[in-house]
Structure 1
Amino acid sequence: MDVVSLVTLAVLAAGLGVAFLIIRRARLRRVAAAVAMAARYGFQVDPSTKGPPELRFDLFERGKSKKVSFQFWRPGKHDSVFAYEYTTGSGDTAQTHRHTCALVSLPFAAPHTKIGPEGFWSKLGARLGRRDIEVESPRFNDLYRVDSDDERFAITMLDGRAIDWFLRGNAAHAVRFEFWGPWMLCITDRMDHEFFFGFHDWAVGIPGHLPEVLTSLYPI
């Protein structure tokens, strides 16, 4: 190998080393900031990158390179909020999808059910030949699409009180919901860590707006 090639390789190696250090330092700063914010809001945090929870939510079945990072939870609780991303396509068509998710425990065992703004879950359902479930609220039916393995469950869950909550809460219009077993997954666009804590506490309050009868009709 001639001198010019050796010098070129050395320059490239040095450049890669500098880039690695910059990325590592940025990561350490993000971790330190997350730890400090968690302590300030009374949360614990796992800043590591790992795979999604072993739960059969549709979101976790999509794409590849699935990553959970910066997972926050209150001490002694199972509910959490985290950053989630996955990729679809490959090469020039590759696309990374980034979300903030809240995973909340339920007092009942839900059949797989999805609720989301018009156009989100309904496109997937149409491809699978499934029809949307409608409730006794034209406004709700205009804003949301509901898909469930058990229509009786969906209709029971979306009683008048629950529908009023969905229609009143502006934040709900930007969130997609998946229910499966004793868990609810709330999915929204990626947000900064400082907003994770409010999103977590908002999501944890959602089961309180759902009918208590679900606990006896669909016991865990």
Structure 2
Amino acid sequence: MPEVLTILVLVLLVALAIFVAVRTTVATARKRQGEMASLARRLGLRFDPRRDDQLPKQFRFLDKLAEGSNRHARNLISGNYNQHRVLLFDYHFVTGSGNSQRQNDISFFMLFLPLPFPEVKIAPEGIFAKLAGMFGFEDIKFESAEFSRAFHVRARDKKFAYDICHPKMMEFLLGNRDLSIEIEGRVLALAFERQLNSTEFVFNLTRLLQVRSLFPKYLFP
């Protein structure tokens, strides 16, 4: 009888722990949804809190949106902002397996370009170390030794990489060393390694537009 009582108590404790964890998760998700909805209103943009499993498939040419499994977006903020079409969202994906499985929740920003461009990736030193040489990409070096030390730039089209990473762009990036940028097709994207709060969203939306403003005008005949 004592053994049965002990087992019953353990089962109840486990059930209680699961209940508390679920309630906490739901409360956190609701709070996040409210913050993002408020942010969208402040920015004059549309808000959609629903889970979107198709978005990663639609934009799977962007490396971060092809990473891991169980990929989906939530809390989508979209519309025209300062004459640019943007899409900002919370993004979830799972990496690893078994005991080493990791749940990843990050923020992702997209700005749509009027013309398609070849792929260029610009990321802080170390981000691409494990990807060296993949898919025929080479790490492009620049006249600025400081920039080459601080950032990896990978592209098949070296000329386009040099077009993008001109002196003013390099100066901007050296002042914003946390930015990871991917350009491909009609998308300019910023990926972050964690979920940003609403204040950080506004700050990084501004930086996204600053990157776009530094594209050379001759790229848009």
Q: 2: distance between equivalents of 1:57 and 1:84?
A: 13
Q: Which structure 2 residues correspond to residues 1-220 of structure 1 after superposition, within 5 A?
A: 15=16, 20=22, 23-51=25-53, 52-53=55-56, 54-55=58-59, 56-74=61-79, 78-126=85-133, 130-167=137-174, 170-171=175-176, 173-190=177-194, 191-216=196-221
Instruction: Give deviations 1:21-79, integer Å, cap 9, x for gaps.
Output: 55444433432333233323433321222123412111111110112112223457630
Deviation at 1:189, TM superposition (A): 2.5
Deviation at 1:179, TM superposition (A): 0.6
Paired residue secondary structure (1:78): strand
- Counterpart of 2:180 in structure 1: which amino acid? R
Q: 2: distance between equivalents of 1:139 and 1:44?
A: 40
Q: 1:138 and 1:112, CA in 2 relative to 1: closer, same or farther beyond 3 A? A: same
In 1, are the aligned partners of 2:45 and 2:77 still within 8 Å (CA)? yes
Paired residue secondary structure (1:48): coil
Paired residue secondary structure (2:85): coil
Identity of aligned residues (%): 22
RMSD: 2.9
Instruction: Give deviations 1:161-205, integer Å, cap 9, x for gaps.
Output: 2222222xx33x112111101111101222123321221232023
Deviation at 1:153, TM superposition (A): 0.9
Q: 1:42 and 1:138, CA in 2 relative to 1: closer, same or farther beyond 3 A? A: same
Q: 1: distance between equivalents of 2:22 and 2:101?
A: 23
Q: 1:99 and 1:136, CA in 2 relative to 1: closer, same or farther beyond 3 A? A: same
Q: 2: distance between equivalents of 1:96 and 1:18?
A: 19
Q: 1:130 and 1:32, CA in 2 relative to 1: closer, same or farther beyond 3 A? A: closer
- Counterpart of 1:165 in structure 2: which amino acid? F
- Counterpart of 1:209 in structure 2: which amino acid? L
Paired residue secondary structure (2:160): helix
Q: 1: distance between equivalents of 2:78 and 2:188?
A: 15
Q: 1:105 and 1:18, CA in 2 relative to 1: closer, same or farther beyond 3 A? A: same
Deviation at 1:135, TM superposition (A): 1.6
Greater relative contact order structure (CA < 8 Å, 6+ sep): 1
TM-score, normalised on structure 2? 0.80
Q: 2: distance between equivalents of 1:120 and 1:39?
A: 34
Number of residue pairs matched by the alignment = 211
Stretches of structure 1 that go unaligned for 5 or more consecutive residues are none
In 1, are the aligned partners of 2:122 and 2:181 still within 8 Å (CA)? yes
In 2, are the aligned partners of 1:45 and 1:72 still within 8 Å (CA)? yes
In 2, are the aligned partners of 1:122 and 1:132 still within 8 Å (CA)? no
- Counterpart of 1:38 in structure 2: which amino acid? A
Q: 2: distance between equivalents of 1:135 and 1:13?
A: 57
Stretches of structure 2 that go unaligned for 5 or more consecutive residues are none
